[in-house]
Amino acid sequence: MRLRLLCGTITCAFVLLACHDPTSQPATLVPSGYPVPEGFPPLRVPPDNPITAEKIELGRRLFYDEQLSRDGNLSCASCHQQQHAFSDTIAVSRGTQSEIGLRNAPPLVNVAYGSAWFWDGRARSIEEQILGALTSPIEMASDTAHVAAQLATDPTYRTAFAVTFGALPNARDAVRALATFCRILVSGNSRYDRYRHGDSTALTEAERRGMALFFSSRTRCAECHSGINFTDNNFHSIGIHSHYYDRGRYYVTGNEQDIGKFKTPTLRNVALTAPYMNDGTLATLDHVLEHYANGGKPFINKDPRIRPLGLSSQELADLRAFLYALTDSTFITNPLFAKP
């Protein structure tokens, strides 16, 4: 019931973005010259929110600004920390007034390549996801009037909004700037990527064995953790629990076959984003690997690919080594993503 009420609150907030519907018209490409990693497709952005350097910089400042929250003590970066691939280090994050969240804060890695946002996929765009976090009573607990009023008191923000949007500070443009900053948080320079592009020395023997296992028909890991971002952008129940108090995708679709299903997370920089799963239940990568190796817990909607794998301790160690090779150290140290 608490989740349904929260989703309803966020849905009402999305009305403020009614003119922003990325599904209603084709996306446009980022202006040529904006860098993406080798082998990655161009970033795609909604037609009404093109990427500009000024918007990126304004979004970066807003991302680290605590005054956007209701009590002025929480920023986006409070729960999405760069050194942890823009994720949190606790099972569920704390909101304003130390409200306990409902789900684990996912990493903000290559979110521009997603097709739905939040663990249950209820947001249709990054803009909607950001507005949802801003207005959620258990996250930043803010509202559009508060955001506009706070930003209007700062002369540097008044100048930045005038330059970027030709307008006074307002919540809609703040959300657009924040979404733009999140879109350019692109990671694709891990040792795995260097190996894939021809550097045969980039991976150790154990990491190569783990890679072979990962992409094999025996484990079938890559069937859900697929593509450049190691996610199919789909929803699965993987048997974390035998009963799901958080029903996940079901809250969006109302389909009982979606009870317990959550979006497949990216595995890029996964070694930095513990704890894991939608509720932060699994504390370490070893716990994650053990969960999959053992086949998870019984559940009516569990994906049939989640079954005992019969992996040896050496094979589990090799898989862990490969997952560590997905770490992109340039991403977590990039000064363009850091607090200004």
CA distance 244 to 230: 25
What is residue 233's predicted lDDT score, i.e. its pLDDT?
96
Residue pLDDT, tens place only, 278-303: 999 999 999 999 999 999 999 999 99
Question: Are 2-187 and 191-331 the same fold in CATH?
Answer: yes
Confidence label for 96 from pLDDT (cuts 50, 70 and 90):
confident
pLDDT surpassing 70 at residue 7: no
pLDDT surpassing 90 at residue 98: no
Cβ 74 vs Cβ 138: under 8 Å: no
Omega within 30 of 0 (cis) for the link into 275: yes
In the block, residue with structure tokens 């349904």: 4
pLDDT surpassing 70 at residue 23: no
For the record, the structure tokens of 225 come out as 């953790």
Confidence label for 148 from pLDDT (cuts 50, 70 and 90):
very high
- Report the top-level CATH class of 191-331: mainly alpha
Confidence label for 21 from pLDDT (cuts 50, 70 and 90):
very low
pLDDT surpassing 70 at residue 33: no
In the block, residue with structure tokens 């699994």: 282
CA distance 195 to 2: 46
What is residue 14's predicted lDDT score, i.e. its pLDDT?
39
CATH architecture type of domain 2-187: Orthogonal Bundle (1.10)
CA distance 271 to 284: 9
Confidence label for 36 from pLDDT (cuts 50, 70 and 90):
confident
Confidence label for 16 from pLDDT (cuts 50, 70 and 90):
very low
CA 64 to chain centre: 17
- 60-68 mean pLDDT: 97
- Chain-wide mean pLDDT for the chain? 91
Residue 5 has a CB neighbour count (10 Å cut-off) of 10
Residue pLDDT, tens place only, 223-244: 999 999 999 999 999 999 999 9
Q: Which of 15-24, 55-64, 253-262 has the lowest mean pLDDT?
A: 15-24
Confidence label for 4 from pLDDT (cuts 50, 70 and 90):
very low
Answering whether pTM is above 0.85, one says: yes
- 320-325 mean pLDDT: 98
What is residue 34's predicted lDDT score, i.e. its pLDDT?
61
Break the chain into its structural domains and give their ranges. 2-187, 191-331
pLDDT surpassing 90 at residue 8: no
Comparing CA positions, the residue from 21, 26, 29 lying closest to residue 183 is 29
- pLDDT top residue among 24 and 340: 340
Confidence label for 29 from pLDDT (cuts 50, 70 and 90):
very low
Which string of b and e fits 66-75 if b means at least 16 CB within 10 Å?
A: bbbbbeeebb
pLDDT surpassing 80 at residue 70: yes
In the block, residue with structure tokens 């691939």: 85
